[in-house]
Structure 1
Amino acid sequence: MELNNVIIEKEGKVAVVTINRPKALNALNSETLKELDYVVTELENDEEIYAVILTGAGEKAFVAGADITEMKDLNTIEGRKFSILGNKVFRRLENLEKPVIAAIGGFALGGGCELAMACDIRLASDKAKFGQPEVGLGITPGFGGTQRLARLVGTGMAKELIYTGKIIKADEALRIGLVNRVVEGEKLMEEARAMAQTIAANAPIAVKLSKAAINRGMQCDMDTALMYEAEAFGECFSTADQKEGMTAFVEKREKSFQNK
């Protein structure tokens, strides 16, 4: 597939995915969503990639939202299909076995905030701004905002942000738990790369199973969640990386994981 709006670059065991529509503040249209879907498939199948960074081109925006120019004339059926497309792609990103770090360097509004929330970890520039301003356009959040925001920051805060449509700065996003860390803008990608490389240095199967256990456990009761954890824990003992990691620890030497 020819990629016009998304760039994927590999840096050792880390992939950097960039939404590349800077003139449109990286707004998500159907074409961009389909390209991102294709990239997720590529990442799924790439056994050499252990961690992913997702960012936006330019200094102004991570992703400023879904493309209003495309949305404004949609009818009910078309609007529903657009929401289903976005939700399908974001859910695939959320369920990608490799951890995904969102490096947010500017506006993350509407679909952009929803895209960031589908990632595992969110690092924000001190210039970043967040919000779900859809009600001011006469629509609801449509790419998971009504669901993921409440799970991240609590129901009351999610309702306040969605009902008012207000935009918050990075420090407020950090305070309410929407982002993991706020860094100086010029250090954003440096911090994201350092974190991705730290993750990639660990046993990739263990990281994958940890992600699956967290994601599955958040959707069910504690007893069922603990069963998922026990399954993941037990599965690790069938891997060569578990033997290597523990043997290296006992022998007090550097470990060498092989993703096996």
Structure 2
Amino acid sequence: MNRPSARNALGNVFVSELLETLAQLREDRQVRVLLFRSGVKGVFCAGADLKEREQMSEAEVGVFVQRLRGLMNDIAAFPAPTIAAMDGFALGGGLELALACDLRVAGTGPGLGAGGGARESGVSETG
């Protein structure tokens, strides 16, 4: 994952890219393991892109949340082992992504966060 400006936040385009890539890799019988890692120093995934999400209608948010669930289900059901190499923050949906993997390996960097505190406080996870 390499979305430095958004700390790998899960926005519409990024989720589409992940879903498309998973579909392609699922058909490739030579794939023996799938590794999720970040190209952004200090962050695995900041979760849902809240800046993008605040621009959505309620109906659009519902569709987006369903797509995120679909992504997590696709990762969990992937036919080869999946590994989350977590060397940085994994917040909200980023932690869900890691939990959807078969194995999680954490570095010594920043930690994990599952709560809705950022949403409730109005602070954006993506800056």
Amino acid at match of 1:85: R
Task: Give a deviation string over 1:148-177, Cα, whole Å, max 9, x none.
Answer: xxxxxxxxxxxxxxxxxxxxxxxxxxxxxx
User: Percent identity among equivalent residues?
Assistant: 32
Structure 1 residue identity aligned to 2:59: I
Aligned to 1:56: 38
Q: Note the residue ranges of structure 2 that are not aligned, 5 or more in a row.
A: 122-127
The separation in 1 between residues aligned to 2:97 and 2:40, in whole angstroms, is 17
Partner of 1:251: none
Please give the alpha-carbon distance, in whole angstroms, between the structure 1 residues aligned to 2:75 and 2:112.
20
- Is 1:22 aligned to 2:13, yes or no? no
Deviation at 1:81, TM superposition (A): 0.8
Secondary structure, in 3 states, of the residue corresponding to 2:84? strand
Q: Distance in 2 between matches of 1:88 and 1:65?
A: 15
Asked if the contact 1:93/1:118 (under 8 Å) is kept, the reply is yes
The answer to whether the 8 A contact 1:36-1:89 is kept is yes
Shift of 1:128: 3.3
Answer 1 or 2: higher relative contact order, Cα 8 Å, separation at least 6: 2
Q: Which residue of 1 aligns with 2:24?
A: 42
**1:104 touches 1:128 (CA, 8 Å); kept in 2?**
no
Residues 176-191 of structure 1 mapped to structure 2, 5 A cutoff: none
Q: Take 1:47 and 1:88, find their aligned partners in 2: how far apart are those partners?
A: 22
Q: 2:65 aligns with which of 83, 86, 97?
A: 83
Quote the Cα distance in structure 2 between the aligned partners of 1:123 and 1:67: 24
What residue ranges of structure 1 are gaps of 5+ in the alignment? 1-18, 140-260
Aligned residues: 121
Aligned residues: CA RMSD: 1.5
SS in 1 for 2:75: helix
Segment drifting more, 57-66 vs 30-39 = 57-66
Q: Which has the larger radius of gyration?
A: 1
Specify which structure has the higher proportion of helix. 1
Q: Which amino acid aligns with 1:103?
A: A
Work out whether residues 65 and 111 of structure 1, in 8 Å CA contact, stay in contact via their aligned partners in 2.
yes
The residue matched to 2:85 in structure 1 has which SS? strand
Distance 1:48 1:133 in 2: 38
Match of 1:108 in 2: 90
Indicate the residue corresponding to 1:98 in structure 2.
80
Residue 100 of structure 1, CA deviation: 0.2
CA distance in 2, matches of 1:23, 1:88: 25
- In 2: Cα distance, 1:69 partner to 1:59 partner: 21
**Which of 37, 43, 49 lines up with 1:67 in the alignment?**
49
Residues of 1 paired with 2:76 and 2:98: CA distance? Answer: 10
